C-alpha cells in the first residue's frame, strides 16, 4: 500500500493535498442547500458535509469553511433561521456542481443554472424543483471548530418531502431508486446502487464462520 505521513502532507502541493484528504474519508452525501436573504434574494449551493445528528428531535448538521470570507448560505441562515436540503440526483449533476462557483450575494444561482426554485407550504426558503428528497430546516445552534476555524451548524427537520417510490414499509429510504448522487472528494460524483440491507446485529457467543 502507498503510505503518506503527516510530514508528507506538509510537503504536498496544496491542491494535491486538498484532493487527497477530501477523498480519503470515502463517499459523502451530495446536497443542495437553499436559502433566501432578508432582501429576498435566493441562494442555492452544493454541500458534501451534511450528516445525521439525531432522530428525536430530528437533527441534521453540516460544516462550513471559515466565515472570514463571504458565505452567502451561512449569512442567509443566520438572518432568517430557515433553509432547505435537497438531494442531488443524476440528471442535475453539472448544474448542481456549478453552484460551487462564488457568486456575489446579489446574484441567485437559480438565475445562473437550470435549477428551479419552488416554495412549499409557506416555508420561506426555496426548495430545488424535482429533487427526490426535499427537507425544510430551521436553525438550532452552531459550534466553532477551533482546530481549523470551521463551523458545525445544526438544524431541525420541520418538513420532509420524498418521492413516493423511495419509501419502504419500515421507513427506510431507498435512495438508489432515484439515482441520488454521492460525492467522492470535491468533484467526483457517483450514483450508488443499493447492494443489500442487513439485520440489526447482536453479540455472538462464539465465532461463526459461514462455509
pLDDT digits 0-9 by tens, 145-157: 999 999 999 999 9
User: What is the reported pLDDT for 3?
Assistant: 96
User: What is the reported pLDDT for 68?
Assistant: 55
User: What is the reported pLDDT for 70?
Assistant: 61
C-alpha span between 112 and 116 (Å, rounded): 10
Q: How far is CA 23 from CA 27, 46, 189, in A?
A: 8, 16, 11
Q: Please, which residues have CB within 8 angstroms of residue 119's CB and are 6 or more apart in sequence?
A: 126, 127
**Domain 25-190 top-level CATH class:** mainly beta
Question: What count of Cα atoms within 13 Å lies in the side-chain half-sphere of residue 102?
Answer: 3
C-alpha span between 124 and 139 (Å, rounded): 13
Domain boundaries, the chain: 25-190
Asked whether the beta carbons of 18 and 188 are under 8 A apart, the reply is no
User: Is residue 57 reached through a cis peptide bond, with omega within 30 degrees of 0 on the bond before it?
Assistant: yes
User: What is the reported pLDDT for 59?
Assistant: 98
Task: Collect the ranges in the chain with pLDDT lower than 50.
Answer: none
**DSSP 3-state of 177:** helix
User: What is the reported pLDDT for 180?
Assistant: 97
User: What is the reported pLDDT for 205?
Assistant: 85
User: What is the reported pLDDT for 207?
Assistant: 81
Amino acid at each position: 500500500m502507498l503510505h503518506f505521513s503527516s510530514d508528507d502532507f506538509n510537503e504536498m502541493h496544496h491542491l494535491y493535498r486538498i484532493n487527497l484528504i477530501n477523498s480519503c474519508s470515502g463517499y459523502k452525501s451530495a446536497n443542495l442547500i437553499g436559502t433566501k436573504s432578508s432582501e429576498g434574494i435566493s441562494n442555492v449551493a452544493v454541500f458534501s458535509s451534511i450528516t445525521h445528528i439525531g432522530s428525536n428531535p430530528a437533527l441534521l448538521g453540516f460544516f462550513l469553511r471559515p466565515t472570514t470570507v463571504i458565505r452567502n448560505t451561512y449569512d442567509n441562515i443566520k438572518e432568517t433561521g430557515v433553509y432547505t436540503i435537497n438531494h442531488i440526483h443524476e440528471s442535475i449533476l453539472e448544474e448542481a456542481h456549478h453552484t460551487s462557483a462564488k457568486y456575489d450575494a446579489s446574484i441567485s444561482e437559480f438565475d445562473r443554472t437550470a435549477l428551479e426554485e419552488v416554495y412549499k407550504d409557506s416555508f420561506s426558503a426555496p426548495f430545488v424543483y424535482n429533487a427526490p428528497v426535499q427537507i425544510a430546516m430551521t436553525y438550532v445552534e452552531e459550534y466553532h471548530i477551533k482546530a481549523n476555524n470551521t463551523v458545525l451548524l445544526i438544524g431541525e427537520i420541520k418538513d420532509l418531502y420524498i418521492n413516493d417510490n423511495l419509501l419502504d414499509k419500515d421507513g427506510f429510504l431507498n435512495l438508489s431508486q432515484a439515482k441520488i448522487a454521492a460525492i467522492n472528494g470535491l468533484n467526483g460524483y457517483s450514483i450508488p446502487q443499493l447492494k443489500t440491507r442487513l439485520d440489526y446485529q447482536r453479540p455472538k457467543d462464539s465465532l461463526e464462520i459461514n462455509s
